[in-house]
Amino acid sequence: MRCTKIMKQYRIAVVGATGMVGRKFLQVLEERQLPVSEYFLFASARSAGKQIEFNGSTYTVRELTDSAFQDLNIDIALFSAGGETSRHFAPIVASTGAVVIDNSSCWRMDPDVPLVVPEVNPDAIPDYRKKGIIANPNCSTIQAMVVLKPLADAYGLKRVIYSTYQAVSGAGMKGYTDLVNGLGNSSEPLQKFPHPIAGNCLPHIDVFLDNGYTKEEQKMIDETRKILSLPDLAVTATTVRVPVFYGHSESINVEFEQSFDLDELRAILSDAPGLIVQDDPAKNIYPMAVDAADTDPVYVGRIRRDFSVANGVNLWCVADNIRKGAATNAVQIAQELIRQWEE
Q: How far apart are the first and last CA of the chain?
A: 22
Decide if 284 contacts 290 (C-beta within 8 A): no
106 is catalytic: no
Q: How far apart are CA 205 and CA 216, in angstroms?
A: 6
Catalytic residue from among 88, 106, 139, 201: 139
Least distance to ligand A2P, CB of residue 178, Å: 13
Catalytic residue, from 88, 106, 204, 248: name it: 248
Between 205 and 235, whose beta carbon lies closer to ligand A2P? 205
Cβ–Cβ < 8 Å for 277, 258? no
- Smallest separation (angstroms) from ligand A2P to the CB of 189: 17
Q: How far apart are CA 62 and CA 18, in angstroms?
A: 11
CA atoms within 13 A on the CB side of 325: 30
# residues near ligand A2P by CB under 6 A: 16
Does position 64 interact with ligand A2P (CB under 6 A)? The reply is: yes
Q: Which of residues 2-41 bind ligand A2P (CB under 6 A)?
A: 16-20, 22
Beta carbons of 109 and 134 less than 8 angstroms apart = no
Give all strands (DSSP E) within 278-335, no chain letters: 298-306, 312-319
Query: Minimum CB separation from ligand A2P for residue 251, in Å?
Result: 27
Is 139 one of the annotated active-site residues of the chain? Answer: yes
Taking CB under 6 A as the criterion, the residue among 2, 5, 46, 283 binding ligand A2P is 46
Q: Does 82 bind ligand A2P (CB under 6 A)?
A: yes
Residue 278 C-beta: closest distance to ligand A2P, Å: 29
Provide the β-strand partners of residue 57.
54
Catalytic residues: 139, 248
**Chain residues that interact with ligand A2P, rule: CB under 6 A:** 16-20, 22, 43-44, 46-47, 64, 81-82, 85, 172-173
